[in-house]
Amino acid sequence: GAVVSQHPSRVICKSGTSVKIECRSLDFQATTMFWYRQFPKQSLMLMATSNEGSKATYEQGVEKDKFLINHASLTLSTLTVTSAHPEDSSFYICSALPTGTGGTGELFFGEGSRLTVL
Amino acid sequence: DAKTTQPTSMDCAEGRAANLPCNHSTISGNEYVYWYRQIHSQGPQYIIHGLKNNETNEMASLIITEDRKSSTLILPHATLRDTAVYYCIVRVALMGSARQLTFGSGTQLTVLP
């Protein structure tokens, strides 16, 4: 199946700093990527939909100025957590929808990035 | 998208079939049943999906009842590596529009040696 890669897989940062997480589709182009967040023992929660060449669409309750999303190419979306605080510590997961997928196309997920804010 | 109900947890002996149920009594005619799983600290992995016919692939089988109000994911010979949270998701086909997946609580399957 198609491969989606996230980097870094783990990151520890100090409170107040910014952290960038990359999501790459390795063998396909993705016009649309999705960013999820998962807290311990909870399910995935959609944060935002990232569309190549346009602004991301954020879910209700997700601060767009805190979670900056850039989807500058058909194979790369980035999530930047600005001025991170301990409550932002979570498992961040991206998924990608291959361009031109119609019908029942499945989503492909990255391995996830675990952010710990001290 | 229709709501799904799954048991919180299940155990299965290694080598035996694991049968994971999912209720989706409010499913509409154009909604598909998708199954994903998430091994601890990894991203979700697609398993299988179907509309109304039973489906089988190299990973699993999906049995959908005739009224489509419930389904069962079958892992024919469970191994320890199948221990994961299994998510049953019901949604319309993508059909050219980008649609995210909405994850419920899922079923924690533990395969016992």
CB contact under 8 A, B103 and A97: no
Residue B97: the pLDDT is 41
> Could you say which residues of chain B have pLDDT below 70?
1-2, 93-99
- Check CB contact of A27 with chain B, cutoff 8 Å: no
If one counts every other C-beta atom within 10 angstroms of the C-beta of residue B2, the result is 16
Spatial distance between the Cα atoms of B102 and A107, rounded to a whole number of angstroms: 12
pLDDT digits (tens, 9 = 90+) for A101-114: 654 567 889 999 99
CB contact under 8 A, A107 and B46: yes
Written as one string, the DSSP assignment of chain B is ----B--SEEEEETTS-EEEEEE-TT--TTEEEEEEEE-TTS--EEEEEESSS-EE-SS-EEEE-TTSSEEEEEETT--GGG-EEEEEEEEE--TTS--PPPP---EEEEEE-
Residue A99: the pLDDT is 78
Give B58's contacts (C-beta < 8 A, 6+ positions apart).
none
Spatial distance between the Cα atoms of A113 and A67, rounded to a whole number of angstroms: 14
CA distance B50 to chain A (A): 9
Of residues B112, B106, B91, B104, the one with CA closest to residue B21: B106
pLDDT digits (tens, 9 = 90+) for A18-63: 999 999 999 888 888 999 999 998 999 999 998 888 889 999 999 9
Nearest chain B alpha carbon to A99: B96
CA distance B21 to chain A (A): 18
pLDDT digits (tens, 9 = 90+) for A51-98: 888 889 999 999 999 999 999 899 999 999 999 999 999 999 999 888
